[in-house]
């Protein structure tokens, strides 16, 4: 019971009941709840779950936006020893059919007893083929007595599952990672041991169905007893200013985000909008989940240093769902360590510093009770420092495997050691990442890391930063692996053929500087490249869709949107007919 979430959170509530969780809306307004408010609300939700026959060990799918309802329901599941698993709601109607099929598949894979979501989603999606469903509004209207506190701490075990976390699925379908109570609390402890002892005031716009948002922001903050300001992901994407405003308004000390977010606020925020903002309180902005680009971070520093941003604030980190979250942290008191390595030596498996080549950032050292091992191609022999290989991780936060998936578990987990699927090396005690092993491009006898190809293309005008895919395919005619580049273009419908051809020429030219000969360049509209639930681009899936003619182009996009409008109108019409029939029956 020592390493279980509910007992620890209950202790935090008892210690600081007035501490706050704050929700920021898209207008920049705040709604505040105390820890005691959240605890009481979750007890009421727990009672509702019991009344609806949810038992210990049942899987409960939560499909809600960042909200007090999500937070209360997640805690309530813990209180009744059910296993919550977060699913992402549809962010738009652009691929509702694909989202529905994927969601149903995920629900079935964990044998969920129920999915709890909003009424507006239940109007569009029928979950009955997978499980029953409950409208979250019914929780709010439930007035029965709250779940008794004295029943909470019986039979708790650190071996119980705390939650299931779907992996991002960049190279395949998402898999449900089994995070035990022990894993979750140990990872929180490990994160805490590497950060400041000062008062914790955090700001996060990351989705709570993602491990960085759930563990790195929410669980870490409420176990430590800090204050947390939460923003809905879509609100941040529409108005990146909200992120920095929340940091400034609340004198936040901590935040967490992937690389693209730092680039987004630089691009979208004008100098005039910086007036009145103060980032001097920010001690660390943890940056992870995707490749970190030097030019992006340099622009971020240059733009926001005048309003107090410290040079040491951005803190590169490394982790994944299979290790609960965090594996390595760089030193938040120091500036980022950037190293340039000889490209040819790196491709052949040796890290050698050079004045020109591939520039990578240090991701720091392993956290307390975590270990990193670099192994050879057969994954059996540990490699010395400076040798590139496959990254293996072990320690108290590494989970036991995937829920009800022994095949995938045996592929990635070996006697408590996790095969991350990432490629990298240790250098001067720090971890450096080259990329995903399955994403590495091997063309004409040379290895290329797609992240570094993509980084060069981001700088071209009209290309969306972070929305480029470099990959390869086997060309039967040439009998060789050929490189193909995909790029999302801003306002593609407003550009003529000559402008598009100029962009293609610039891409061919830019990658040739790296000694790369691309066979194809494919330009697409925004939102077309396939992504995981956490926003990572799926390189191999992009190639697969393109080769099969199923990558939506900007002519097809109109047809997709038209079909969605037809589907919406049909649902509305069916609803009207249902109400009409009901009223006729009452009249008779």
What does the pLDDT profile of the chain (588 residues) look like in tens digits?
568 899 899 999 999 999 999 999 999 999 999 999 999 999 999 999 998 999 999 999 999 999 999 999 999 999 999 999 999 887 655 556 777 888 888 999 999 999 999 988 888 788 888 889 999 988 888 876 676 766 666 677 889 999 999 986 555 578 899 999 999 999 999 999 888 778 899 999 999 988 889 999 999 999 999 999 999 998 998 899 999 999 999 999 999 998 888 988 988 888 888 889 999 999 999 998 877 888 889 999 999 999 999 999 999 999 999 999 999 999 988 999 999 998 888 888 899 998 888 889 999 999 999 999 999 877 678 999 999 999 999 999 999 999 999 999 998 999 889 999 888 999 999 999 987 766 667 665 566 777 777 777 877 888 887 788 888 877 766 666 788 888 888 888 888 888 888 888 888 887 776 667 788 888 888 878 887 665 677 887 888 888 877 786 533 444 444 555 555 565 556 555 545 554 444 444
3-state secondary structure of 75: helix
Beta bridge partners of 463: 489
Round to whole Å and give the CA distance between 567 and 571. Answer: 6
3-state secondary structure of 257: strand
Which residues neighbour 408 within 8 Å (Cβ) at sequence distance 6 or greater? 175, 401, 402
Contact by Cβ (8 Å): 372, 426: yes
Is there a shared CATH topology between the 5-426 domain and the 440-553 domain? no
Q: How far is CA 331 from CA 267, 290, 384, 485, in A?
A: 27, 19, 23, 35
Which secondary structure element, helix H or strand E, spans residue 467, and what is its range? strand 463-475
CATH 3.40.50.12780 is the classification of domain 5-426: yes
- Report the CATH fold assignment for 440-553: GMP Synthetase; Chain A, domain 3 (3.30.300)
3-state secondary structure of 570: helix
Short-list 79, 19, 28, 24, CA closest to 55: 79
Q: How far is CA 192 from the centre of its chain?
A: 21
Contact by Cβ (8 Å): 544, 536: no
Query: Can you list the alpha helix ranges (DSSP code H) found in 490-538?
Result: 497-512
Residue-wise DSSP of 123-182: TT---TTT-EEEETHHHHT--SPPPPGGGTTSS--TTSEEEEEE---TTSS--EEEEEHH
Contact by Cβ (8 Å): 282, 313: yes
Q: How far is CA 369 from the centre of its chain?
A: 24
What are 308's two structure tokens? 């107090």
pTM: 0.80
Backbone angles phi, psi at 466, to 5 degrees: 80, 0
Strands 518-524 and 480-489: parallel
Sort 344 into a burial class: Cβ within 10 Å, 0-12 / 13-18 / 19+.
middle
Residues for the chain: how many in total? 588
What residue segments make up the domains of the chain, in order of their start? 5-426, 440-553, 555-588
């Amino acid at each position: 019971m020592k390493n279980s979430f509910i007992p620890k959170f209950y202790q935090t509530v008892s210690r600081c009941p007035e501490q706050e969780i704050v929700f920021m809306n898209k207008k920049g307004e705040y709604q505040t709840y105390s820890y005691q408010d959240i605890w009481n609300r979750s007890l009421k939700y727990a009672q509702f779950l019991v009344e609806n026959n949810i038992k210990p060990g049942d899987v409960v799918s939560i499909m809600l936006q960042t909200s007090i309802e999500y937070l209360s329901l997640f805690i309530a599941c813990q209180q009744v020893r059910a296993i919550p698993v977060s699913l992402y709601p549809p962010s738009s109607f652009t691929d509702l059919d694909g989202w529905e099929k994927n969601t149903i598949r995920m629900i079935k894979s964990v044998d969920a007893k129920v999915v709890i979501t909003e009424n507006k989603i239940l109007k569009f999606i029928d979950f009955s083929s997978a499980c029953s469903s409950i409208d979250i509004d019914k929780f709010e209207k439930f007035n029965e007595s709250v779940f008794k506190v004295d029943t909470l701490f019986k039979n708790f075990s650190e071996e119980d599952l705390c939650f299931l976390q779907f992996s991002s699925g960049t190279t395949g379908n998402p898999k449900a990672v089994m995070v035990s109570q022990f894993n979750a609390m140990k990872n929180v402890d490990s994160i805490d041991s590497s950060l400041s002892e000062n008062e914790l005031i955090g700001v996060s716009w990351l989705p709570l169905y993602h491990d960085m948002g759930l563990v790195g922001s929410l669980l870490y903050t409420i176990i430590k007893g800090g204050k947390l300001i939460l923003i809905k992901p879509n609100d941040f994407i529409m108005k990146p200013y909200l992120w920095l405003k929340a940091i400034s308004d609340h004198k936040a000390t901590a935040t967490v985000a992937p690389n693209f977010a730092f680039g987004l606020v630089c691009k979208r925020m004008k100098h005039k909008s910086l007036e009145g903002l103060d980032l001097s309180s920010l001690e660390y902005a943890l940056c992870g989940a995707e490749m970190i680009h030097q030019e992006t971070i340099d622009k971020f520093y240059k733009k926001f240093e005048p309003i107090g941003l410290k040079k040491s604030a951005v803190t590169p980190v490394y982790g994944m769902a299979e290790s609960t979250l965090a594996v390595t942290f760089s030193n938040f008191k120091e500036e980022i360590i950037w190293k340039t390595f000889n490209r040819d030596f790196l491709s052949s498996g040796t890290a050698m510093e050079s004045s020109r080549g591939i520039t990578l950032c240090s991701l720091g050292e392993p956290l307390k009770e975590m270990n990193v091992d670099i192994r050879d191609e057969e994954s059996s022999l540990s490699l010395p420092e400076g040798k590139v290989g496959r990254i293996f991780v072990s320690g108290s936060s590494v989970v036991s495997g995937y829920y009800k998936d022994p095949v995938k578990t045996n592929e990635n987990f070996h006697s408590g050691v996790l095969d991350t699927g990432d490629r990298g090396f240790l250098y001067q005690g720090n971890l450096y990442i080259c990329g995903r092993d399955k994403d590495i491009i091997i063309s004409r006898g040379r290895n290329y890391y797609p992240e570094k190809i993509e980084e060069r293309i981001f700088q071209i005008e009209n290309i969306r930063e972070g929305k480029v895919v470099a990959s390869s395919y086997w060309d039967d005619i040439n009998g060789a692996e050929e490189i193909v580049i995909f790029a999302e273009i801003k306002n593609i419908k407003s550009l003529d053929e000559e402008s598009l051809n100029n962009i293609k020429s610039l891409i061919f030219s830019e990658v040739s500087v790296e000694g790369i000969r691309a066979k194809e360049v494919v330009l697409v509209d925004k939102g077309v490249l396939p992504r995981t639930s956490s926003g990572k681009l799926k390189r191999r899936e992009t190639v697969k869709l393109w080769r099969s003619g199923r990558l939506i182009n900007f002519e097809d996009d109109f047809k997709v949107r038209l079909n969605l409008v037809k589907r919406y109108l049909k649902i509305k019409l069916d609803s009207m007919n249902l109400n009409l029939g009901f009223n006729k029956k009452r009249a008779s």
